[in-house]
Amino acid sequence: MPRVGGDQALAVYQELRIRPDATFDEVADRFELSAEERERCRDELATLGLTEPGEPAEDRAAESTGKPAEESAGPGAPRQGVPTVVDPDVALLRLLRRERDRLQERLAATSRTHTALEALAGPFLRAGATPRAEIEVEIVDVPGLARRSLADLMDSVRTAASFMHTGSVRREEMGAELAQDRLWADRGVRVRAMYSRRAASVPEMAQHLEERTAVGVEIRLSSVIPMNMVLADENFAMLPTDPYDPASPAILARGPGLVRSYLALYEYCWTAAAPYGQEDPAEKGGDGLSEQQRAALLMLASGIKDEQIARNLGVSLRTVSRLLSEVMQELGAASRFEAGVKAARLGLLDNEGTDRGL
């Protein structure tokens, strides 16, 4: 009898398939498993979906005979404790389906948030929706005017300013941004900023982030930044009308009743991002996949097209094809579907279940 945990579970599973009428404890006794070993095997087979607990003997007997439980018991009645053994291919498909459902639920929730953000401005622009003293929304399609409005409001920040950037900061704007950081630091304002890993990989940008961090700005990096966003004091928000087009007209929103919704989205992205300097962007996870490869794999498994993956990651279609080819090679998969199956089997699609979430 193998003494390694995984081998023991395999041996028990094979014996259960050979002896469909045997109970788990009977098979465990045959292999002389200790109490700890049999519980470990039982848990492993159940977690993999290879065994399911059988119905109580009296319930199964009554169901098969159509008689009350007390009249159904007899020499031919089903034995209590006999588990249901599931074929490996069925268990694998169930696991993949379950992981895909969970992933689609999370992505659907994110999609609903984006849809709500795009739709929020319209109702509040109509007269009488909400008193202007509480909420004000303005659509600005002149870039210069949007920048001036932003500059005026940044000067009045009292407690906190939060930024989300899909790209790099322009070279000519770095000095002014650093000067503003120093002013806020002197006034005790908390400043946070999120950038994409791709932008942070540019040497000049990396130097700028080092300088901002030295001043006291909290910086985090993520493989996917959904949109550009500026938040101030829970009372002001600035973001594009089209998250996929940074050049689209800007939404200027004032009033905590609306801005807190944007702040909730920011906090979600902030929690998922990694603190700057604590993780190498090129560092591989324990499974051999980089964070960018993992993000592409996660979106692929949810059914997102290559074009949308490219937009979400801020890369070209050619780069997406290369990333997915690298994922297939790393997983030893001959097709994208097979890569999804193997990723689900290895637990790579379960963000809550691993230390290597996106």
Q: Higher model confidence: residue 46 or residue 146?
A: 46
Residue 245: other Cβ atoms inside 10 A? 11
Identify the band that residue 282 occupies on the pLDDT scale cut at 50, 70 and 90.
very low
Residue 284 DSSP symbol: B
Top-ranked range on mean pLDDT: pick from 151-165, 245-259, 316-330: 316-330
Q: Which residue, 126, 50, 139, 37, is CA-closest to 88?
A: 50
Q: Are 236 and 152 in contact (CB under 8 A)?
A: no
Q: What is the mean pLDDT of the chain?
A: 76
Extended beta strands in the chain, E state: 51-52, 84-85, 136-140, 160-164, 190-196, 218-222, 229-232, 236-240, 250-254, 274-275
Query: Span 153-169, mean pLDDT?
Result: 81
Checking if the pLDDT of 121 tops 50, the result is: yes
Burial 112-131 (b: 16+ CB within 10 A, else e): ebeeebeebbeebeeeeeee
CA distance 218 to 35: 50
| Complete DSSP assignment for 4-51 | SHHHHHHHHHHHHHH-TT--HHHHHHHTT--HHHHHHHHHHHHHTTSE
Residue 160, pLDDT > 80, answer yes
Per the structure block, which two tokens stand in for 350? 């379960």
For residue 319, the tally of other CB atoms under 10 A from its CB is 16
Amino acid at 7: D
Sign of dihedral through CA atoms 263, 265, 271, 275?
negative
Q: Quote the percentage of the chain above a pLDDT of 70.
A: 76
Question: Does pLDDT of 172 surpass 80?
Answer: yes
CB distance 194 to 221 below 8 Å: yes
Query: For residue 20, what are the CA distances in angstroms to 27, 62, 166, 210?
Result: 11, 20, 57, 64
